[in-house]
Amino acid sequence: MLWIKSLHIVFVVSWFAGLFYLPRIMVNLAQETEAVATQRLLLMARKLYRFTTLLQFPAVLFGFWLWLGYGIGKGPGNGWMHAKLFLVILVIGYHHACGSLVKKFENAINTRSHIWFRWFNEVPVILLLAIVILAVVNPF
């Protein structure tokens, strides 16, 4: 079980690293006016989104393995797991929203400002904080 837990943590950390940096690239894309720099940032965003998507799957898979295979979070007194799973669904939605935003930049139809993307960039931080607290503290 400790190997699975270790792999889960490594892939979650890697996935979130991408989710932290991808919106930061979008902040720069929203501010950029030069075509060459925009194309370079778009290339970075596309590649990072694809790589982050690849990291998402083992993170979720190992998490489900711990939950369903080893019973972590099962049974009475584990309401924290339901809350954590809800937040994980929000993270997956955030991840796919990032992909949608990258496509808007690719199609030159982004309407959001760099300030909006700065706030958008804070969402995974809040989600990760809540998920870690739920997983470690098991408050309910």
- pTM of the predicted model as reported, rounded to 2 decimal places: 0.94
In this predicted structure, what is the pLDDT of residue 75?
87
User: For 27-52, what is each residue's pLDDT tens digit?
Assistant: 999 999 999 999 999 999 999 999 99
Cβ within 8 Å of residue 4, ≥6 positions away: 62, 65, 66, 69, 70
